[in-house]
Amino acid sequence: MHPDLQAASDTHALHRALDASRGSTEPRQQEELLRQALASADGEYLPHLQGEWVEATRSQHRAAVVEGHLTLSLLHCAARECPLAALSLLRAADADPLIGEDHHQRLMVCLTMNRGKYAAIEHYCRYRHYLAEEVGDTPMQDTVDLAERLKADERPCDHGPYMLTGK
């Protein structure tokens, strides 16, 4: 692809903004750069094309989008913007359900703090079903234990970066 065409692409804008956000030490600037990056990455990457090369590129694109949402969720959490942290985590999980079980645990905590324990348990049940049907696995014991703690009305976040220890 011609370098000028590539430089004008949404994918290039996504990676350029992600790189810039990694280099920034100012949280609000990082947030703005991540928002720009994610705005340029809406939708599936090259959905009309098939082939090995496009699958690899699509996977890299998805990983960049997930990284952006996860980083944004941490910034929102640190700023005590809990609803926005939960939204970013939901978007990361929608983009890739295999984002890592720790992120699903964080999402469960955020959902509990913002929408209540039923939203968190509903996410846990969907995640458990996904693992069973798509992966042939079960959640880690830490995730099961967290779900039980949430069911028992524990609120394991003190607005710090995902404080998962009980109080």
Q: How far apart are CA 66 and CA 164, in angstroms?
A: 22
Of 14-18, 66-70, 109-113, the least confident: 14-18
CB 107, CB 91: distance < 8 Å: no
Q: Which residue has the higher pLDDT, 163 or 76?
A: 76
- Output the pTM of the full model: 0.82
pLDDT in tens, 35-75: 888 887 776 776 677 878 777 878 888 888 999 999 999 99
pLDDT for 162 beyond 50: no
pLDDT band at 6 (very low <50, low <70, confident <90, very high): low
CB 25 within 8 A of CB 75: no
Where does residue 26 fall: left (phi above 0), alpha (psi -120 to 50 degrees), or beta otherwise? beta
Mean pLDDT of the chain: 85
pLDDT band at residue 158 under the 50/70/90 scheme = low
How far is it, in rounded angstroms, from Cα 81 to Cα 111?
13
- Amino acid letter at 128? R
Q: Which of 142, 117, 14, 146 is nearest to 67 (CA)?
A: 14
